[in-house]
Homo-oligomer: A and B are copies of this chain.
């Protein structure tokens, strides 16, 4: 379709819906998709962007001219425009903002710290002074009904835009029209500072079962709101971040990272893992003479490391998950570790018995020296390693959490490294004691 016939393609796409065009773009190579996007009229472009997560707008837009971007920004909703600008390279966004009305306002909206309530909040909200009546408010809403795109609550503020309370839409519906807003307002509104961490906002909403949270600036003025939709987005983002951090990747990583970004976002954890592995290697060097006497022992190193790694990651993931969903009963921590120990012993025993049987079975086909004693060595090591790794995996996140460190961040590498070293040392200690 898209080779170079700009006019024909643009005319053909003019009648398509934004979603359909996006579906087409997604099937093109990025370069082609960007070129095609440049050809579209402004209306069509806006329809396409509306279908796309604003945080990924930058991918499509990074080759656009400033003039066109400025035009698009002016016609987008404020929240979406802010998120779109945030997805562009900083310099490019700065130049666009300079060309807009009220560059200071835009700059302030873009300046909220990442992962703060200010970044996630919705800027469009309705606020009225307290001395108006419900009837006034309804009249006002009727007049502006074209502009209003979502109506979650009506906020009541004083002359300086400081928040006094709110009314739910049903209050407007169910309260006599002559009532003053100030007399009907609900006071159970929780508000947070714009700099509050999004994670904290989410926990607050979940713990207190809140629908809407107001966001204030340092002077106490209402600047935005966090509604169920924003809460859903925060919950998704936080879960994604946890997952990426656990895998040892910077939480900003996306599938569109350039090779240099990939390096910056992953290399630190690779190096940390390498340092841990060097520790395991050094531990092994101490047993060089054991290994020299029976090279076959080396064949079981992968098994020890794999079991230690898997058992540790399993236990720690369950723990991190429970911590982040608030499902850790602090009075039950000993009980939790006890159950973890019980489960680890059962798993370790199963793995050990199966491995031992496997070794003896193989020894009937291939010649292995002392198969019984090798089976015993491997079985005992697997049982010990599984148990230690699972108990460590379950306790390290709890300890990190106590120390105020995000357990997801430190987890991957800390657990893998300690388990690698423990796995190798336990194995060679048993080998020295039993097999030789």
Chain B residues lying within 8 Å of A278, measured Cβ to Cβ, are: 303, 358
A319 at the interface (CB under 8 A from B): yes
With A228-B232, A253-B318 already in contact, the answer to whether A267 and B347 are too (CB < 8 A) is yes
User: What per-residue 1/0 map shows which CB atoms of A119-148 lie under 8 Å from chain B?
Assistant: 000000000000000000010011001001
A306 to B313, CA, bound (A): 14
Contact A298 B307 (CB under 8 A): no
- A339 interface contact, C-beta 8 A: yes
Q: Is A332 an interface residue (CB 8 A)?
A: yes
| A: contact size bracket | 35 or more
303-317 of chain A: CB within 8 A of chain B: 303, 305-307, 309-311, 313-314, 316-317
In the complex, the count of this chain's copies comes to: 2
Question: When chains A and B are docked, how far (Å) is the Cα of A211 from the Cα of B229?
Answer: 8
Residues A190-215 near B (CB distance < 8 A): 207-209, 211
Q: How distant is the Cα of A339 from the Cα of B257 in the complex, in angstroms?
A: 7
* Contact status A295-B306, CB under 8 Å: no
A351 contacts B by Cβ under 8 Å: yes
A405 within 8 A of B: no
Q: Which of B33, B242, B292 contacts A331 (CB 8 A)?
A: B33
Stretch at the interface among A90-98, A156-164, A216-224, A322-330: A322-330
- Could you jot down 27 A-B contacts, CB within 8 Å? A19-B208, A25-B329, A29-B332, A30-B332, A33-B329, A151-B170, A169-B169, A227-B228, A235-B236, A242-B243, A243-B243, A243-B321, A246-B317, A247-B313, A247-B314, A248-B310, A248-B313, A253-B318, A255-B319, A255-B321, A255-B329, A257-B343, A271-B351, A284-B299, A295-B295, A309-B309, A310-B416
- A contact set with B: CB distance below 8 Å: 19, 25-30, 32-33, 50-51, 53, 56, 138, 141-142, 145, 148, 150-151, 168-170, 172-174, 207-209, 211, 227-229, 231-232, 235-236, 239-240, 242-244, 246-249, 253-263, 266-267, 269-271, 273-274, 276-278, 280-282, 284-285, 288, 291-292, 295-296, 298-303, 305-307, 309-311, 313-314, 316-319, 321-322, 325, 327-332, 334-336, 339-347, 350-351, 354-355, 358, 386, 412-413, 416-417, 420, 424
